[in-house]
C-alpha cells in the first residue's frame, strides 16, 4: 500500500520513525506534504521519501493519505483526496463535529468508492463504546485533564476551562479536544465534556463514563505526551499505526 502524509508534525514523526525501523510491513510511506517545507523534508529524509509542493502532486501515486495536520486541512484538503478516489485516515477529528462537513465527506467517499478512517486516538475503550451504541445510550461524559502547557495556557491552580456539550468544546478547543469529537461521533450523540487545566499532573488524561441499555462503563487513560508537541498524546499516533497495520490483516479483532 502506497501512503502519503499530510502534515509532518508530532504524530507524523512517530509514524515515520516506525516505518523507518521496518515495523510497518506492507506500508510504503513515500510522500510528504506540509505547508512548512522543512518539516516535510526532515521526515522524508528518514525513509528516503519525496516531498511534494501541493497535495495534488501525490494523489496519483498513493492509495491512502494520513491526515496529521489540522482541522483546516480536513476542510480544505480532505475533499480533494476523496474526490480522487483515495482513502484517508483523519487525525484532526475535531473538524468532523461539524455534521455538514462530515456528511459532505461521507457523500464524497461514497461517490468515489473511498474510505474515511478515524483511529481511536488518545482514548481506550472505543470498541466497547461502539458496541454499546447498538443499544440505547442514556448518558456519556468525558473529563479531560491536562497540564496547562498542553492546553496552551499557564495556570497555578486546578482550573475548569470548559463544562458543556461536545460541539461547543470542540469549537472552543479545536486542537485539543479530538477525543470529545471521536466519542461523540462513535455514540451518534452530543456528550458532556469537562476540560481541566491541572498544574499537578504531567500526563494528558481522559475519563469516559457511559450508561446505557448494555450497563455502564468507565475508562481512564493517562497518556504520555509527544515530545515534539505536548498537546498530543503518544497513544494517538500509536492508534494510527495500529489502524494502518490492521488494513493489511486477515484476522480482525475488536469492533
Ligand X SMILES: NC(=O)c1ccc[n+]([C@@H]2O[C@H](COP(=O)([O-])OP(=O)(O)OC[C@H]3O[C@@H](n4cnc5c(N)ncnc54)[C@H](O)[C@@H]3O)[C@@H](O)[C@H]2O)c1
- Cα torsion for 79, 84, 85, 90, to the nearest 10°? -40
CA distance 81 to 133: 30
Residue 223 interacting with ligand X (CB under 6 A):
no
CA distance 50 to 34: 12
Residue 73 interacting with ligand X (CB under 6 A):
yes
Q: CB–CB of 176/145 below 8 Å?
A: no
CA distance 15 to 62: 17
User: Of 58-66, 90-98, 152-160, 206-214, which segment contacts ligand X by CB under 6 A?
Assistant: 90-98
User: Of 2-10, 22-30, 56-64, 214-222, which segment contacts ligand X by CB under 6 A?
Assistant: 2-10
Which one, 133 or 144, has the nearer CB to ligand X? 144
> Residues 3, 4, 5, 7: which binds ligand X (CB under 6 A)?
7
Identify the bridge partners of residue 32 per DSSP, sorted by sequence position.
5, 51
Q: What mask, x for binding ligand X by CB under 6 A, covers residues 126 to 165?
A: ----------------------------------------
84-123 per-residue burial string, b: 16 or more CB within 10 A, e: under 16: eebbbbbbbbbbbbbeebbeebeebbeeeebebbbbbbbb
Q: CB–CB of 170/74 below 8 Å?
A: no
Q: What mask, x for binding ligand X by CB under 6 A, covers residues 180 to 199?
A: --x-----------------
User: Of 139-147, 163-171, 178-186, 195-203, which segment contacts ligand X by CB under 6 A?
Assistant: 178-186
CA distance 234 to 99: 28
138 is catalytic: no
Residue 229 interacting with ligand X (CB under 6 A):
yes
To the nearest whole angstrom, how small is the minimum distance from the Cβ of residue 69 to ligand X?
Answer: 4
User: Of 1-9, 56-64, 161-169, 244-252, which segment contacts ligand X by CB under 6 A?
Assistant: 1-9
Binding site for ligand X (CB under 6 A): 7-12, 34-36, 39, 68-70, 72-73, 91-93, 121-122, 175, 178-179, 182, 228-229, 232-233, 236
- List, by residue number, the catalytic residues: 206
Amino acid at each position: 500500500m502506497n501512503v502519503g502524509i499530510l502534515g509532518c508534525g508530532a504524530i507524523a514523526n512517530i509514524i515515520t520513525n516506525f516505518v523507518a525501523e521496518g515495523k510497518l510491513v506492507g506500508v510504503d510511506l513515500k510522500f510528504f506534504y506540509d505547508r512548512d517545507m522543512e518539516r516535510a523534508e526532515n521526515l522524508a529524509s528518514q525513509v528516503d521519501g519525496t516531498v511534494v509542493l501541493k497535495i495534488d502532486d501525490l494523489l496519483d501515486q498513493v492509495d491512502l493519505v494520513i491526515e496529521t495536520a489540522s482541522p483546516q486541512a480536513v476542510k480544505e484538503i480532505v475533499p480533494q483526496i476523496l474526490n480522487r478516489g483515495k482513502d484517508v485516515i483523519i487525525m484532526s477529528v475535531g473538524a468532523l463535529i461539524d455534521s455538514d462537513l462530515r456528511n459532505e465527506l461521507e457523500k464524497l467517499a461514497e461517490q468515489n468508492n473511498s474510505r474515511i478512517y478515524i483511529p481511536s486516538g488518545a482514548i481506550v475503550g472505543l470498541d466497547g463504546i461502539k458496541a454499546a451504541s447498538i443499544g440505547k445510550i442514556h448518558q456519556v461524559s468525558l473529563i479531560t485533564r491536562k497540564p496547562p502547557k498542553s492546553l496552551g495556557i499557564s495556570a497555578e491552580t486546578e482550573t475548569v476551562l470548559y463544562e458543556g456539550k461536545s460541539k461547543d468544546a470542540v469549537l472552543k478547543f479545536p486542537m485539543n479536544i479530538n477525543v470529545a469529537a471521536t466519542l461523540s461521533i462513535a455514540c451518534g450523540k452530543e456528550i458532556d465534556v469537562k476540560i481541566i487545566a491541572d498544574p499537578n499532573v504531567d500526563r494528558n488524561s481522559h475519563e469516559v463514563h457511559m450508561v446505557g441499555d448494555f450497563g455502564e462503563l468507565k475508562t481512564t487513560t493517562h497518556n504520555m505526551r509527544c515530545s515534539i508537541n505536548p498537546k498530543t498524546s503518544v497513544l494517538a499516533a500509536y492508534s494510527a499505526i495500529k489502524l494502518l497495520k490492521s488494513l493489511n490483516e486477515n484476522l480482525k479483532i475488536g469492533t
